[in-house]
Chain A
Amino acid sequence: MKKYLGTKILVYILTFVFAVTLDWLIPRFMPGNPILVLVSRFSGLPESARVMYSYLTKAFGLDQPLWSQYVNFWIALFKGDLGISIYLYPRPVLEVLKMAIPYSLGLMIPSILLSWIVGNNLGAIAARRKRLDSIMLPIMYFITGAPYLWLGMLLAYFLGVVWDIFPIAGAYSFSLRPHLSWLFVGDFLKHWILPFLSLFIVQIGGWAIGMRNMVIYELENNYVRYLETLGVKRKLIRKYAFRNAILPQVTGLALQLGTVIAGQVTTEVVFSYPGIGYILTQGILNQDYFLIQGCFLFIIIGVLIANFTVDLVYMALDPRIRFSYGGEV
């Protein structure tokens, strides 16, 4: 168990270092000078361009040797100094991201957990009903094939425009300010439901397919045959098969995270939902490199935390790891 956690944590630390290094490396070694690109955007105002250039050179620390730039980058990181957003000047990047993160998590966590539960149950049900299976399987494959952003657009078009049930932009009405009241919570939920649904539906497909395959595979195992010959009730057999089949699905939760994040970013853009993904896109469109760097770091940290949580859950579920009887970790 200690070894299992130890290796995992080591990989995560290395991943973090790798990601931060990449984050630091890319603007410095990419073709072209990002600072010049930035400054050229302000070329209409020669006065501010000069100030901008000197500020950015200093901010990137480009006048120092490379190794000290690198060390400084880490130091700034631990101080929580991610630079100042250019697009939302003069707000610090960290502050911008702090504002955005509750919206992102509020969409992402429920969609992941609920789709996981619903998808797994759907898959398990389909695995033992042939007719349902042959109808559901093709639908599920096309659902997983759908880009998140397109499903979002589809929902927005039908539920938001044609039937006009839900609002399709922002996290709350323009007339309201975030505060704690029934009015605001209701308004917030109304704006939340469509982006949530588009993330939720696409994810269900993958989980249902995975679970269906796992259960079918498990039901052909020898222990199932043995239980059958013993005359054990079907219900109990299914319970055992389900338990065994759920383990790979837990691992899948971590593996799936990358695509979910990609989907989240695009979905937020479709609905102008002010989460990290939306901010990130604004950063890209406005070439706000500090903001892009900051978003990347936030995403990495979030992914690492999520992965670690999945590892802990897996450890709690799989006795083989808890008692460290070998097995592929």
Chain B
Amino acid sequence: MSEIMFFAFRNAKLRMGLIIVLFFLLLGIFGPMISKYQDPLDYVGQGYQPPSKEHWLGTTTFGQDVFTQLVYGIRSSFFVGLVGGGIATIIGLVIGFLAGYEGGWLDELLMMLTNILLVIPTLALLIIVAAYLPYRGVFIQSIIIGLTAWPWTARAVRSQTLSLRTREFVNLARISGRSHMKIILYEVLPNMMSYVFMVFILQFGGAILAAVGLDFIGLGPSRGISIGLMLQNAVLWNAIQLGMWWWAIPPGLVITLVVGALYFMNVGLDEVFNPRLREM
């Protein structure tokens, strides 16, 4: 463990990614406290104001404070990433383990389901579910994203499980009469922990992006604020045409930085866990 930590802190990619993600995480947690305004939807000043001392990122057409909206948006983005990405990872793990370890008809059935869901574009699926929900909160949205994003994880976990299943220590555990669930939990899972962690990071980023897309086309939370909603409003009220860059550009920039940093962290982690990839 300490060896892994050593390589983790030596890895520049991981360090850089982590710093960016942590920065925005902290901004999401503490930002609402340092911003001057409490309610992101409140009308606090004149509209169309470029960034100033009073409004750090300017105001929207209606005089809402963009910075306040942004920090609340970051908060909800991290929430969606955590819950949506978490659910997707867990479902993917369970299905991948079951299919890979149990094999037989269960494998066939689960993989058929996985392949079907893999072909259907996630956003299309999300749209059709979200469009009929009269009330949507950030939490519901995260759950829907989690329920639709797992197929590639399931497939990847399954193939990893397949290769672990025939290893000696797993055979030994099986001979000693442990139940399948215990073997999966205590023999297979620990050997894939690094991989699982990386899958979670990818799902985290994916969930954030999916939420931005959904919010943007009008299927976001029916109240409150999110990055996707900010972008939607900016486009709806012609922020680009009016040259209000402070409204249109920063929300997407934050998402790009966070998701890019997550991917970058993932490469770094890959190098930490896999000695062959380490830069010497």
Which residues of A does B touch, CB under 8 Å? 11-12, 14-15, 18-19, 22-23, 26-27, 30-32, 34, 37, 137-138, 141-147, 149-151, 153-154, 156-157, 160-162, 168, 255, 257-259, 261-263, 265-266, 269-270, 277, 280-281, 284-285, 287, 289, 292-293, 296, 299-300, 303-304, 307
Contacts and interface: CB of A to CB of B under 8 A. Distances in A.
A262 B231 contact: no
A150 B253 contact: yes
Contacts of A14: 112, 116
B256 A142 contact: yes
Given A22-B125, A150-B253, A154-B249, 7 more contacts: A141-B267, A142-B257, A147-B212, A269-B235, A270-B235, A303-B119, A303-B121
Contact of B260 (A11, A141, A259, A285): A141
Nearest to B16: A138
A149 B123 CA distance: 14
A150 B231 contact: yes
B124 A144 contact: no
A160 B240 contact: yes
A280 B256 contact: no
B190 interface: no
A36 B7 CA distance: 60
Interface of B: 16, 112, 115-116, 118-125, 127-129, 131-134, 152, 205, 209-210, 212-213, 216-219, 231, 234-235, 240-241, 243, 245, 248-249, 251-253, 255-264, 267
Given A19-B120, A262-B122, A292 B133 contact: no
A20 to B, nearest CB: 11
Nearest to B123: A262
A19 B148 CA distance: 13
A153 B252 contact: yes
B216 A266 contact: yes
Nearest to B129: A26
B112 A284 contact: no
Contact of A269 (B127, B217, B241): B217
A113 to B, nearest CB: 18
A293 B128 CA distance: 8
B125 to A, nearest CB: 8
Given A157-B248, A292-B127, A147 B255 contact: yes
Contacts of B16: 138
A23, A27, A162, A284 — most chain B CB neighbours (10 Å): A284
B248 A261 contact: no
B264 A261 contact: no
A293 B122 CA distance: 15
A280 B121 contact: no
A287 B57 CA distance: 34
Contacts of B240: 153, 156-157, 160-161, 168
Given A141-B264, A145-B205, A262-B210, A23 B252 contact: no
A160 B212 CA distance: 23
B218 A255 contact: no
Contacts of A149: 212-213, 216, 231, 235, 252
A258 B123 contact: yes
A138, A141, A142, A168 — most chain B CB neighbours (10 Å): A141
7 contacts: A32-B132, A153-B234, A161-B240, A162-B243, A259-B123, A287-B131, A304-B119
B268 to A, nearest CB: 11
B241 A150 contact: no
B119 A292 contact: no
Contacts of B118: 255
A145, A270, A284 — most chain B CB neighbours (10 Å): A145
A266, A269, A285, A292 — most chain B CB neighbours (10 Å): A266
Contacts of B122: 258-259, 262
B208 to A, nearest CB: 9
B263 A141 contact: yes
Contacts of A300: 120-121, 124
B33 to A, nearest CB: 27
Contacts of A261: 121, 123-124
A86 to B, nearest CB: 13
Given A27-B132, A141-B260, A285 B218 contact: yes
Nearest to A262: B123
Contacts of A287: 131
Contacts of B217: 265-266, 269, 277, 280-281, 284
Contacts of B127: 280, 284, 292, 296
Nearest to B122: A258
Given A11-B119, A19-B120, A144-B263, A26 B128 contact: yes
Given A147-B256, A153-B240, A258-B122, A265 B213 contact: yes
A137 B271 CA distance: 15
Ordered nearest first, which 6 A-B pairs have the shortest CB separation?
A150-B252, A145-B260, A142-B260, A145-B259, A262-B123, A258-B121
